[in-house]
Amino acid sequence: MRSIDRKSLEKALETYRVLDEDGNLVGEEPSISDSTLVKMFEYMVRARVLDEWLLKLQRLGKVAIHAPNKGQEAIVGAVMPLRPEDWVFPSYRDLGVYLVRGMSEEEILDRALYNEDDPLKGSDFAIYGNRKYNMVPTPVPVGNQIPHAVGVAYAMKYRGEDLVTMVMFGDGATSRGDFHAGLNFAGVYRVPVIFVCENNGWAISVPFERQTRSPSIAFRGLAYGVDSIRVDGNDVLAMYTVAKQAIERARKDKEPYLIEMLTYRLGSHTTADDPSRYRSEEEVREMMRYEPLKRFKRYLVDKGLITESEADELYRRYSSYVEEAAKKALNKSPLPRDIFFYNVYSTLPWNLKMQLEEFREAIKTIEEFGLEVD
């Protein structure tokens, strides 16, 4: 049993920040190289642009569904301090994370459109991942990935490697058994995992106060013996600083860490949602004041690392870039029709072989009569 000291409690109940909502320094300035700072901003812009394009493609009926990330772009700060060999289990709302890990806009679009180049072979919607980037595709059932990340971290420690695992999930996910088990195992086995809870105030229509009466998610982390901190999650510098420390400690001391990222979802839950049913426009307008891009841009402009017009240019550049990429992705062929028979087992068991025959007969009939099915 561990005791709880005053300092741990404060970290779990107060909110760590570096910049205020206008981009003024209010905490200790982290020492981050200029190029990293600019890169960080660029990722955030790319995430914003891509988000807008996925929304557009969804409205055009090309993309099945999209979970907007607008307002939560500061998550890129949490992943940037990772090494490529570290593992990441992203959430479905983490466009910026995919980009930082090396995924291109092209690949994200191929995935969203599940065309012939979809690395996940048309398995599910609104999820992204690729072994190439040590980024495991998100399971749609909320929270499932949490204990997986802990297992991976255990295996890293077991192998004596100095790698870490990071896993993202929402505030709603903290109510699930997966969170409970994952945090508990991480505490008991002391493994190098960093939990990032993106507390955006809402789980679809359920506000945080109705999700839990806990003082904070970070406080809840302490209840598993996992050191935890609450961070202004719209302040990318705060996110970066805190994550960097957590990652270094995990790498060295094999200690888990929980970061509660206080943020706000400015868009709808997904493109299938209608937030006007449960929250006011005023709330959203008010929260726009705290959004992460504007704030960070101010800091960069004040620091002389970027000008307003350079920032605008960046946005425009990526917009045309994604437009091109979308055109290309839309022109690709669909996946083979029998794709879903593969990747269930490493080889086809006899019942799947028989069913594949039946499937081929059906295709013949479809073609014979020119039936419309797909």
Ligand X SMILES: Cc1ncc(C[n+]2csc(CCOP(=O)(O)OP(=O)(O)O)c2C)c(N)n1
| Active site residue ranges | 265, 269, 278
Distance CA 366, CA 372 (A): 7
- Binding part of the chain for ligand X, among 75-83, 121-129, 170-178, 251-259 by CB under 6 A, reads 170-178
Contacts of 207 (CB under 8 A, 6+ apart): 201, 279
Two structure tokens written together for 218: 């970070």
* Residue where the block lists tokens 């479905």: 92
State which residue has the least CB distance to Mg ion.
Answer: 170
**Do residues 255 and 190 make contact, with C-beta atoms less than 8 angstroms apart?**
yes
Q: Between 92 and 114, whose beta carbon lies closer to Mg ion?
A: 92
Binding mask 72-111 for another protein (x = CB under 8 A): ---------------x------------------------
User: Which stretches of the chain bind a copy of itself, using CB under 8 A?
Assistant: 1-4, 9, 13, 175-177, 179-181, 184, 187-188, 190, 208-216, 219-220, 222-226
Distance CA 288, CA 330 (A): 33
Q: By CB under 6 A, is residue 171 in contact with ligand X?
A: yes
Binding mask 239-278 for ligand X (x = CB under 6 A): --------------------------x---x---------
**Do residues 106 and 92 make contact, with C-beta atoms less than 8 angstroms apart?**
no
Q: Which of 182, 201, 233, 256 binds another protein (CB under 8 A)?
A: 182
Q: At 107, which helix (H) or strand (E)?
A: helix 105-112
State which residue has the least CB distance to ligand X.
Answer: 170
Q: By CB under 6 A, is residue 200 in contact with ligand X?
A: yes
Q: At 10, which helix (H) or strand (E)?
A: helix 6-13
Q: Least distance in Å: CB of 337 to ligand X?
A: 28
- State how far Cα 86 lies from the chain centre: 15
Of residues 1-60, those binding another protein (CB under 8 A) = none
| Residues forming beta bridges with residue 197, ordered by sequence position | 169, 260
- Out of ligand X, a copy of itself, another protein, none, what residue 334 binds, judged by CB under 5 to 8 A for its kind, is another protein
Q: By CB under 6 A, is residue 141 in contact with ligand X?
A: yes
* Residue from 48, 12, 39 nearest 100 by CA: 39
Neighbours of 4 (CB within 10 A): 12
- Binding part of the chain for another protein, among 238-246, 260-268, 273-281, 296-304 by CB under 8 A, reads 273-281
Q: Which of 29, 248, 285, 340 binds another protein (CB under 8 A)?
A: 340
3-state secondary structure of 165: strand
Q: Between 200 and 241, whose beta carbon lies closer to another protein?
A: 200
Rg from Cα positions in the chain: 22
- Out of another protein, Mg ion, ligand X, none, what residue 93 binds, judged by CB under 5 to 8 A for its kind, is ligand X
- Out of Mg ion, ligand X, another protein, none, what residue 97 binds, judged by CB under 5 to 8 A for its kind, is none
Q: Angle at the Cα of 46 (from 43 to 51), degrees rounded to 5?
A: 125
